[in-house]
A and B are shown apart, each in its own frame.
Chain A
Amino acid sequence: MLHLSWWKWVLLALTVGGCGALPDAKPFAEASHTLAMSVASAGQAVADSLGEAGALTESDDAAYKARADKFRAAWGERVAASRAVAVYSESISDLISAGQEGGETVKKVGDALSGLAGALNIPLAAPAVGVAGDVARFLADRIATVRASDRLETALAKAQPAVDRLAERIATETDQPLRSVLDNTYKTQRGQITDKYDAQQNQLQPFEMKRSELASQALANTDVLPVLLQHDQALASLRSRLAERDRLLAEASMAYKARLQLLNALSAATITWAQSHRDLAVAVKQKRKVTVVELQATISELKSLSKKVSEL
């Protein structure tokens, strides 16, 4: 049989028993913060869209401002709920840190005592001090981990239905009422822009036909040239007005597409985030690491889309 001194047995036990730490919940907490910010950004994007539609005609401005206010008040509840979840996620991460700090503190105190003994030339057996410190640290870690883990398991299980409901509702609302407001507002805005230029658009074809007619006449009769020149100037002015319309339509379309992208990304990210919460709960139970690659990729995309929309 293998004979080892007592402190070697303790070291062996530490090596074998050292695995099984709590997962790092910081990426989840960061993702929750980004998600909360994106819920707010998506709301701002839709409110801006309503504002832009109202600003096109003076008579509509008040009605659209009232709609934007109504929307902001309703969406504010979603923002508040997602912020509450972000704070909750941070408290998960904080509890895990509190558990991990237990062993660290014992180690610091142990190190300080060894240093003190060394400075005073008090002869202490170095391996014994080290092992005693490691044992204390190991025990503190295990106790804190188990306590934190028990509380986390309960908390995560308790929060899961609320997390699922939040994710499902945000995803559904983003796909339906929010999308409906955005689509209808954009099309209304597009209609209002086009409406302003319909008269010029309707004049264009008769003007172009008349121009061809005048150009043919000018070939035979140079007296028509001044009239043709005048007509060309009017036609250029008409085309310039229509180019202005096309620019406004392109701007509105660009803003709509960016906002729509944000809504689509938010819907997908919310579902991924709720799944990550479930994965985190399992990881806490099994004391293993949690994979956050998909969550981080989704959240990163969401962050860049939120930034793009805020810069519109």
Chain B
Amino acid sequence: MTFDDLTSIDWESCSATAQWAKLLDSLLALAPLAGTTGQRGQLADALDAFADHSSSPDFEIITKLDRVARRAARALREASIDEALAALEAASGEFRAISKEVGAVTASLQKEAAVLRAERLRTAVTSLSDTIASLKAVSHSMSDSDDTKLTSALSQAVTSAQKLRGLIEQTA
């Protein structure tokens, strides 16, 4: 039997327990030759199919044959699982490199966002400084007038604006 024959096995051709035993021997003989994941999978599927199809009035012997087939299938599949795990483990370094590269770009973007936000605050501080200066000028020019209410309101506005500027500067 070869790997090409595995897909065309006629499961109805066996009836006696001896025929089933012979078929199982042929399948097991391929196990040491199964070198790839594909071949191992193909053979394991055939061994499971053997256990699914086999039948005989001597059900104790046929159950033992089924068990041998199922265990061989499991061993083949476990070899493929271990091979896949080894492949994943071997490629892990590449992901560590990706994390590092992306981390460097992220740091530069975060830094730039912080700079833009700081500039935003500087703009606000400049605007407020100009306002304070203007309000002060108005306040001084009105100091000699009789409108004490307006003078007082302007003084309060200057104080509030100065406080606000202080707060913005602290945030920056």
**Which A residues are within 8 Å of any B CB, using their own CB?**
50, 63, 67, 70-71, 73-75, 77-78, 80-81, 84-85, 87-88, 91-92, 94-95, 97-99, 101-102, 105-106, 109-110, 113, 116, 120-122, 136, 140, 144, 147-148, 151-152, 155, 158-159, 161-163, 165-166, 169, 173, 176-178, 180-181, 183-185, 187-188, 190-192, 194-195, 198-199, 202-203, 205-206
**Which B residues are within 8 Å of any A CB, using their own CB?**
37, 41, 44-45, 48, 51-52, 54-57, 59, 62-63, 66-67, 70, 73-74, 77-78, 80-85, 87-89, 91-92, 94-96, 98-99, 101-103, 105-106, 108-110, 112-114, 116-117, 119-121, 123-124, 127-128, 131, 138, 150, 153-154, 157, 161
A120, B154: Cβ atoms under 8 Å? yes
B66, A102: Cβ atoms under 8 Å? no
A307 CA / B82 CA spacing, docked (Å) = 28
B59, A199: Cβ atoms under 8 Å? yes
A70, B85: Cβ atoms under 8 Å? yes
A106 CA / B56 CA spacing, docked (Å) = 89
Task: Indicate which residue in B81, B89, B110 contacts A185 across the interface (CB closer than 8 Å).
Answer: B81
Given A95-B109, A121-B150, 8 extra CB contacts under 8 A: A74-B92, A81-B99, A88-B106, A95-B116, A109-B127, A144-B116, A162-B98, A188-B73
Say how far A256's CB is from chain B's closest CB, in angstroms.
Answer: 14
A73 CA / B109 CA spacing, docked (Å) = 30
A203, B84: Cβ atoms under 8 Å? no
Which residues from chain A contact B154 at a C-beta distance below 8 Å? 120
- Number of A-B residue pairs at CB separation under 8 A: 201
Say how far B37's CB is from chain A's closest CB, in angstroms.
Answer: 6
A102, B98: Cβ atoms under 8 Å? no
Which residues from chain B contact A140 at a C-beta distance below 8 Å? 120, 123
Given A71-B85, A169-B95, the answer on whether A120 and B150 have CB atoms closer than 8 Å is: yes
Given A99-B116, A113-B131, A180-B80, the answer on whether A80 and B95 have CB atoms closer than 8 Å is: yes
Which secondary structure dominates where chain A touches chain B? helix
A181 CA / B88 CA spacing, docked (Å) = 10
Task: Indicate which residue in A50, A73, A194 contacts B51 across the interface (CB closer than 8 Å).
Answer: A194
Say how far B28's CB is from chain A's closest CB, in angstroms.
Answer: 15
A3 CA / B159 CA spacing, docked (Å) = 44
Interface centre among A98, A148, A178, A185 (most CB of B within 10 A): A98
A99 CA / B96 CA spacing, docked (Å) = 31
Given A94-B109, A173-B91, the answer on whether A180 and B37 have CB atoms closer than 8 Å is: yes
A120 CA / B117 CA spacing, docked (Å) = 31
A198 CA / B98 CA spacing, docked (Å) = 49
